[in-house]
């Protein structure tokens, strides 16, 4: 059995990790870390875990945790994992970090967008960007995986094949994204109160959202050149889900069948990417509670653009599910182990 520890287990992504790992036949959770609820029973924090988890919450002592487990998940705010990790720990245990600490390869870019000093830049080069469908072989050999962000997972996977194949102008990409409120975390914030969110939709982080450089960096690798995009996120009054609608200029005249063939080339055999039938638009309700990504597109000959659409559950494929998918690869398990989650509806 793989022994797992979770630092930040009482956040939304952390709780989703618990829910998934409890159903994983090769994993035992040994450590429910939570700085806010030390010595409090986990099931008192999340009553859905009553009679399922009897453990009490523990602190975030990574040194001690590395002696007790095989893998550590850090579902924490930016900066914490980078402040705790060191060579001795990485020699003892594998780490899947759900924060942004090791996603961006340029330290200056990270510090500019996140407004904090990076505490362990020596590990950035080693960290593997954990987008399994693109970096699978590197993930298998990694001891430190940077789990991608939710917006970035949906945006990159939706656009990647067309960028990689050179079908679109890499400098023309516009990403319009919408997320449920769980993407903002469990912390109490006035802007996320029920009366603030209900019956409303709003843009935020316009031209300044922290996931922008992450999307640019990864799609830049696909394009073979640095790129700049417009990325605008929106908050919608639902618990879960991300919907991305992206726009890009086509480099040449292509048909729906031409583009579909490209998506089939990259994703045709992927377990968790579902390419929808022609004319069917992705919807968040059909991926909720699952590790699936639903993708489709529309060619607009009038504007000579392609409109790309993707939908995920931000807490599963956008966070905890992808983290478990990465863990499976790191330990040589079937990639879908513990992730056969049928989407929930309604």
308 and 249 in contact (C-beta within 8 Å)? Answer: no
> Which residues pair with residue 7 across a beta bridge?
33, 74
What are the Cα distances from residue 135, in Å, to 5, 129, 273, 274, 316? 24, 7, 15, 18, 18
Pairing of strands 174-179, 242-249: antiparallel
Q: Count of H helices and E strands in the chain?
A: 12, 13
User: How far apart are alpha carbons 52 and 22 in whole angstroms?
Assistant: 8
> Which residues pair with residue 306 across a beta bridge?
248, 299
Crossing angle of helices 12-21 and 321-330, rounded to 10°: 50
Pairing of strands 293-300, 273-275: parallel
DSSP 270-334: -SSEEEPPTTPPP-GGGTTTSS-EEEEEEEETTTTEEEEEEEE-TTIIIIIHHHHHHHHHHTT--
250, HSE (Cβ side, Cα atoms, 13 Å): 19
CB atoms inside a 10 Å sphere around CB 344 = 13
Instruction: Examine the residue annotation and report whether 281 is marked as an active-site residue of this protein.
Output: no
User: How far apart are alpha carbons 207 and 226 in whole angstroms?
Assistant: 18
User: How far apart are alpha carbons 317 and 19 in whole angstroms?
Assistant: 14
Report helix, strand or coil for 260.
helix
Q: Which of 57, 81, 132, 150 is catalytic?
A: 150
User: How far apart are alpha carbons 179 and 139 in whole angstroms?
Assistant: 27
Q: How many residues does the chain have?
A: 346
Active site residues: 150
């Amino acid at each position: 059995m793989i022994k797992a520890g979770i630092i930040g287990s009482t956040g939304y992504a952390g709780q989703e990790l618990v829910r998934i790992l409890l159903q994983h036949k090769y994993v035992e959770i040994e450590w429910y870390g939570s700085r806010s609820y030390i010595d409090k029973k986990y099931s008192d924090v999340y009553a859905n875990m009553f009679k399922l988890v009897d453990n009490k919450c523990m602190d975030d002592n990574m040194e001690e945790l590395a002696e007790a487990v095989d893998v550590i998940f850090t579902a924490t705010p930016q900066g914490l994992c980078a402040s705790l990790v060191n060579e001795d720990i990485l020699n003892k245990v594998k780490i899947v970090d759900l924060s942004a600490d090791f996603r961006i390869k340029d330290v200056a870019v990270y510090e500019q967008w996140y407004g904090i000093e990076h505490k362990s830049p020596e590990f950035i080069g080693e960290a593997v960007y954990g987008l399994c469908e693109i970096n699978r072989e590197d993930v298998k050999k990694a001891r430190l995986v940077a789990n991608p962000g939710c917006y970035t997972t949906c945006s990159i996977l939706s656009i990647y094949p067309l960028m990689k194949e050179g079908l679109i102008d890499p400098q023309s990409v516009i990403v319009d994204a919408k997320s449920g409120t769980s993407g903002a975390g469990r912390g109490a914030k006035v802007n996320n109160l029920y009366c603030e969110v209900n019956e409303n939709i709003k843009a935020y982080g316009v031209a300044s959202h922290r996931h922008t450089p992450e999307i640019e960096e990864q799609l830049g690798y696909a394009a073979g050149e640095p790129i700049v995009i417009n990325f605008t996120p929106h908050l919608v009054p639902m618990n879960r889900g991300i919907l991305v609608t992206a726009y890009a200029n086509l480099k040449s005249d292509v048909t729906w069948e031409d583009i579909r063939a490209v998506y089939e080339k990259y994703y045709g055999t992927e377990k968790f990417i579902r390419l929808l039938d022609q004319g069917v638009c992705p919807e968040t309700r059909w991926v909720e509670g699952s590790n699936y990504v639903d993708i489709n597109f529309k060619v607009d000959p009038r504007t000579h653009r392609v409109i790309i659409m993707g939908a995920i559950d931000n807490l599963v494929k956008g966070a905890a599910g992808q983290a478990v998918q990465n863990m499976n690869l790191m330990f040589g398990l079937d990639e879908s182990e513990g992730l056969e989650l049928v989407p929930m509806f309604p």
